[in-house]
Structure 1
Amino acid sequence: MKYILNYPTVYLINDKINKENFSVYVGETTDVRRRTIEHIHRDVQQNNSWEKFASSETSKMLVIGHDHFNKSLTLDIENKLMQYMSSVNAVNYIFNRRLNQQNEYYTSDEVDDIFSKIWQKLHLKNKKLFPAENIIRDSAIFKASPFNKLKEEQLDAKNKIIMKVEEAMNRQETGQLILVEGEAGTGKTVLMSNLFYELEQISNGEEENILLNQISCHLLVNHEEQLKVYKQIAKKLGLIEKEDSDIVSKPTRFINNHEPKEKVDVVVVDEAHLLWTQGKQSYQGKNQLEDILERARVVVAIFDKNQILSREQFWEEKQLLEMAHQANLEGNYIELQNQLRINANQHTINWIRELIDKQKVKNIPNDDNYDLKVFNTVEEMYEAIKDKAKNEDYGISRILATFDWEYKDKTKPENEDYWRVKVEDWSLPWNLQVKTDKRRGIRHKNLSWAEQAQTINEVGSTFTIQGFDLNYAAVIIGPSVKYRDGHLMFDKSASKNKKATQRRKLNNEMQDVSKSLLNNELNVLLTRGVNGLYIYAVDPELQKVLLKAQKGEI
């Protein structure tokens, strides 16, 4: 009891909204008695959520103490608790949502171990409210959470962006572009999520900042699966009340809903390389980034030119260089360089990058941490990835493929049950076709493709996996990627991705940009695996050289 009453503590208050769902408050204090009295007598009068907690017969308070707790450590534990609780499917709403990331301190190396022990005890008390830790850590919400602790490079980038936003607000500037570039796995999404959330907190008066108080912030992403995740995060954290809010939305909706003369303050665009650079469907403009800049005082664009996947998103190299150069001149250019996704040594990372960037196959290096393997058959690879997926210790693992087999959204193939990826006698349905069972349907509808249990029986594509990671990724490199004359080459005639293979009008001429786009498709697929990458190539020559590389015979 002395650790509860005489030491800093972390506490969690929860209440049942219905049989399945909870609302949660997470806090920390140096005096839990005083803080509890404040909640009961003061906060109930100022906050409707506290009034509900106080009057509910099902609300509970859990107080967590530890003999190693100090102020910094409890702030870190509070931050991790908010990250975990906001990732629980059964939690609809979490408040006291401040960011409390701490720097290094005396016991900072103990945080993860202490937190895991705390979570295990909470799990024993209520398995629905506190699911197994591996389930939490595998969720897309957890990985994109604003409560992820930023690395030094990310933290420096965030602080620089906030400073530049302050300058723009102070000078009444408009159309300012802050460009953040980085390869796949460099932590762009976590930075963006953390930045957007902090700007919202400052805007709502959670932190003292006269320049940014009451600013309007929007988060845009042109990707259905990622939008689903961001809307869930925003709703749980009270940033939006309804999922149809345009505070978190697709770019076209934002552009159509806002006139240039009525500018918002800040727009954060995740995956800005997915913005359209030509008119399409409900978008009547010519360049979405330019249209967003016309409607905002500051735009923060998270960009990776090597993840542009369709002709509608294509930029000429000259345009990209000019955009980066202009941002650099204004002190608005940031590059993230540290690889944070792939848990491999530098030799393995270099091997993957050589294959993608230089189209060269080198001998596969030894790596005790990363499982990089070429399989003799696609059947063997699929069985291996299913084994990984069954083992909860390995987390979410899925099979992916280049878009080299026919798939038409919202239609059915003739004489077959599904659009399928077929390699000799083996076949499996393309993504987004196999239905979940009815018991899981409601719970699954808000999950990203890879998180849904039935998707182990499908093949993922760039359209469902871009922006997400897998613990193990098995990639079928289809016939559009061949090995000839000592290097990889791209055969657009073997691809079914019309968005990549059809010509694009540039400078009043129809041009073939398929090589770049098919290369980018390969880049996205080969950089999804955190702890392992499995490969099978359909092209016999490519498969042969990859197997030789595995044996160290090149």
Structure 2
Amino acid sequence: MRLYSGTSEQFVQDTIQNQIAEKLRQSFFHHFHYYPSPSEINSWKNSLRALSLVFMNAGLKDHGVLLEYQLPSTSKRLDCMVTGKNEKEEENAVIIELKQWDRCEESNGENEVVTWVGGSKRDVLHPSAQVGFYQMYLQDTHTAFYEDDCVHLSSCAYLHNYHYDENDVIFAPKFQQLLRDFPIFTADDVDKLTHFLKSKLSKGNGIDILRKIENSKYRPSKKLMEHVGNTIKGKKEYVLLDNQRVVYDKVFAFAREGFHDKRKHVVIVKGGPGTGKSVIALNLLADLSLAGYNTHYATGSRAFTETLRSIIGRRGSVQFKYFNSYTKAQYNEVDVLICDEAHRIRKTSNSRFTKKENRSNIPQIAEIINAAKVSVFFIDDNQVVRPDEIGSTAYIAKYALDNGCQVYIEELDAQFRCNGSEGFINWINNTLGIRQTANVLWDINDPFEFKIFDSPFELERAIREKAKQGYSARLTAGFCWPWSEPKADGTLHNDVVIGDFQRPWNAKPDATRLAPGIPKATLWAHDPNGMNQIGCVYTAQGFEFDYVGVIFGKDLTYNLDEQRWEAHKENSYDTVVKRSKEKFIDLVKNTYRVLLTRGMKGCYVYFMDKDTERFFKSRIQYQSTTDASQVAEERMEY
């Protein structure tokens, strides 16, 4: 999709006649069914007028021009792409990122600067980084830029209101390689920008190249798929065992069959915490990519997806998507679409940010299955923690069968988390009243460590000690305290308060400027500095640590007299979950189930409600005489 396509001469004339912004406005409405904001229209007027003057100065008359060209399978749009041939008659295209900035400030981010955007100062990508990533994305995913006889692609940024100062932060030493690869031209560099464009496009003949780009397909290049595959396969922890391998082989078989079969294939893989769902999913992404299949990995969790993108690296991140990334996908655009944490699938892909005119009644599950020849859903029916999450084995299977898909369902039962102890997961399910199991009592001598602490300070010390010993460890809590915006200096409020114990939540997902040493919410589980904040279920779900600490709040308590669980909305600060009347207690139980089962070697807990603590202790089988007598006394109390 693009909002404007034509010759460079047409573009210049449209700009001179003051028609270019109006043409873009009407094209925008045609594609999106609403008009762009006045600020975007003004941006087009100012930036494109400046660019047209450069085109006239460079004598670009026989070239192709694309404006507001949307990167395949994303919502991002390039400002401008110019096409033509160079002196050697080679086909070329140049991406030009346009900025109205006139100043910026230093950021502590590797690829960021701080500038005024959207009414406030924000960390944004350095223009060279931004346009460089656009170039890399197209070279990895667009056939026009990587197949035989491909179009050579270059990039630059034009800051037409910015005046050059060699000491400006935008030219800082840490950006020198970026600036060499993807140069910036300021208001003082019209002649330099002219020379840059003429060196790539001097021979013109750009319309045929433009059509070639527009008519080419989105499909990840072999190099990109090899990069993703090799990155994942280089991580020794991804090894498949037993029925994990069965699922893996079945998906691979369906991928081979589905590549030529008109009938869609749907694979549903059920499994609780620690059954290796993500292990299989990542192995499939790696090996299917290496085998040449266009494979995507999608989740409904921003934290989980962004952490995976961070681990894999920016280049490979284009294969990691969200469930709502397929609203505009073409039929069978993807060979294999792997949906991890599929219990987080929602009724539709609409969100509170979706404009009214863009809202759709199409089920999100329909968009996902429509986009792929083979859809794979990894799911835990007991991990739904929000009322708008409707993903379940039954729901997915019914939709797939009703729409003529071939469906295969497999259940994982062997535990690969919690030190191999399937019993701990079953004990948690039983104790929380989620599901009856044979594991009524927990054996304190089990290799998996389950410990109850008398204070949050002791809990925190134990978790920090595990981190010092080299284990991965995080402290989490139920959503029983407010979650504040960062302070003006980027530090966090101590929202989690239990007497003298005062600690901050992890940063909010939409927090823009954070103080040094505070990770973004999406990276809390992966960044070592995440140890300094308490994570909630929305940042912890989907991850696993060697040791997890859990502050069990008063939104869920056990009534010893009546021997039942009780939920307390007055002690919850999860506004979305509180709106669910009949499901509130189930969602809170699932929340603590998720938190308590994040550990692979141990789970440490502090209970704010002492009756709840006594109930958990009554479900523990102690061996020593002292411990046994103490628990016996506590059991006799009720």
> Does 2:291 align with 1:202?
yes
Q: 2:413 aligns with which of 337, 340, 347?
A: 337
Q: Determine which structure has greater relative contact order: mean sequence separation of CA pairs < 8 Å that are 6+ residues apart, divided by chain length.
A: 1
Deviation at 1:482, TM superposition (A): 0.6
C-alpha change, 1:390 and 1:402, in structure 2 (3 Å) is same
Deviation at 1:466, TM superposition (A): 1.0
Q: 2:256 aligns with which of 153, 160, 166?
A: 166
Deviation at 1:402, TM superposition (A): 0.8
Amino acid at match of 1:270: D
Trace 1:338-353 onto structure 2 (pairs within 5 A): 338-343=414-419, 345-353=421-429
Trace 1:364-443 onto structure 2 (pairs within 5 A): 364-392=442-470, 395-408=471-484, 410=485, 418-432=493-507, 438=516
Aligned position for 1:193: 282
What is the rounded CA distance, in whole Å, between the counterparts of 1:480 and 1:326 in structure 2?
A: 40
What is the rounded CA distance, in whole Å, between the counterparts of 1:171 and 1:142 in structure 2?
A: 29
Q: Deviations over 1:173-226 (max 9, x none)?
A: 24x3211111111100010011111111111xxxxxxxxxxx432221221222
Are the aligned partners of 2:270 and 2:393 in contact in 1 as well (CA < 8 Å)?
A: no
> Does 2:581 align with 1:499?
no
Amino acid at match of 2:477: A
Deviation at 1:417, TM superposition (A): 5.5
Q: 1:471 aligns with which of 526, 546, 553?
A: 546
Q: Deviations over 1:372-413 (max 9, x none)?
A: 111122222122222222222xx02121111111114x4659
Trace 1:457-536 onto structure 2 (pairs within 5 A): 457-484=532-559, 485-503=562-580, 512-536=582-606
Aligned position for 1:157: 247
C-alpha change, 1:309 and 1:156, in structure 2 (3 Å) is same
Are the aligned partners of 2:414 and 2:422 in contact in 1 as well (CA < 8 Å)?
A: no
What is the rounded CA distance, in whole Å, between the counterparts of 1:274 and 1:383 in structure 2?
A: 33
Trace 1:442-453 onto structure 2 (pairs within 5 A): 448-453=523-528
Q: Secondary structure at the match of 1:496?
A: coil
C-alpha change, 1:344 and 1:146, in structure 2 (3 Å) is closer
Aligned position for 2:344: 274
TM-score by length of 2: 0.54
Amino acid at match of 2:534: V
What is the rounded CA distance, in whole Å, between the counterparts of 1:266 and 1:317 in structure 2?
A: 19
C-alpha change, 1:95 and 1:462, in structure 2 (3 Å) is same
What is the rounded CA distance, in whole Å, between the counterparts of 1:187 and 1:384 in structure 2?
A: 27
Aligned position for 2:326: 254
Are the aligned partners of 2:550 and 2:595 in contact in 1 as well (CA < 8 Å)?
A: yes
Identity of aligned residues (%): 23
Deviation at 1:476, TM superposition (A): 0.8
> Does 2:616 align with 1:542?
no
What is the rounded CA distance, in whole Å, between the counterparts of 1:234 and 1:293 in structure 2?
A: 25
Amino acid at match of 2:503: L
Q: Secondary structure at the match of 2:432?
A: helix
Q: Secondary structure at the match of 2:543?
A: coil
When Rg is computed on C-alpha atoms for both structures, the one with the higher figure is 2
Q: Secondary structure at the match of 1:522?
A: helix
Q: Secondary structure at the match of 1:306?
A: coil
Aligned position for 1:116: none
What is the rounded CA distance, in whole Å, between the counterparts of 2:404 and 2:613 in structure 1?
A: 43
Q: Deviations over 1:418-439 (max 9, x none)?
A: 151122332211112799874x
What is the rounded CA distance, in whole Å, between the counterparts of 1:290 and 1:146 in structure 2?
A: 35
C-alpha change, 1:219 and 1:346, in structure 2 (3 Å) is closer
Deviation at 1:296, TM superposition (A): 2.1
Q: Deviations over 1:488-534 (max 9, x none)?
A: 2322332111222213xxxxxxx632222112111110101111111
C-alpha change, 1:285 and 1:377, in structure 2 (3 Å) is same
TM-score by length of 1: 0.62
Amino acid at match of 1:534: Y
Are the aligned partners of 1:196 and 1:217 in contact in 2 as well (CA < 8 Å)?
A: yes
Aligned position for 1:302: 378
Q: Deviations over 1:287-324 (max 9, x none)?
A: 32221112222211111121112122135896367469
Amino acid at match of 2:452: V
C-alpha change, 1:309 and 1:324, in structure 2 (3 Å) is farther
What is the rounded CA distance, in whole Å, between the counterparts of 1:346 and 1:194 in structure 2?
A: 23
Deviation at 1:334, TM superposition (A): 1.5
Aligned position for 2:204: none
Deviation at 1:282, TM superposition (A): 4.6
Query: How much is the aligned-residue C-alpha RMSD, in angstroms?
Result: 3.7
What is the rounded CA distance, in whole Å, between the counterparts of 1:396 and 1:221 in structure 2?
A: 23
Q: Deviations over 1:441-465 (max 9, x none)?
A: 8xx6798313323322211111111
Q: Secondary structure at the match of 1:156?
A: helix
Trace 1:281-300 onto structure 2 (pairs within 5 A): 281-282=352-353, 284-286=359-361, 287-300=363-376
C-alpha change, 1:476 and 1:224, in structure 2 (3 Å) is same
What is the rounded CA distance, in whole Å, between the counterparts of 2:397 and 2:567 in structure 1?
A: 25
Q: 1:312 aligns with which of 381, 388, 393?
A: 388
Number of positions where the alignment pairs a residue of Structure 1 with one of Structure 2: 388
C-alpha change, 1:306 and 1:177, in structure 2 (3 Å) is same
What is the rounded CA distance, in whole Å, between the counterparts of 1:448 and 1:364 in structure 2?
A: 33
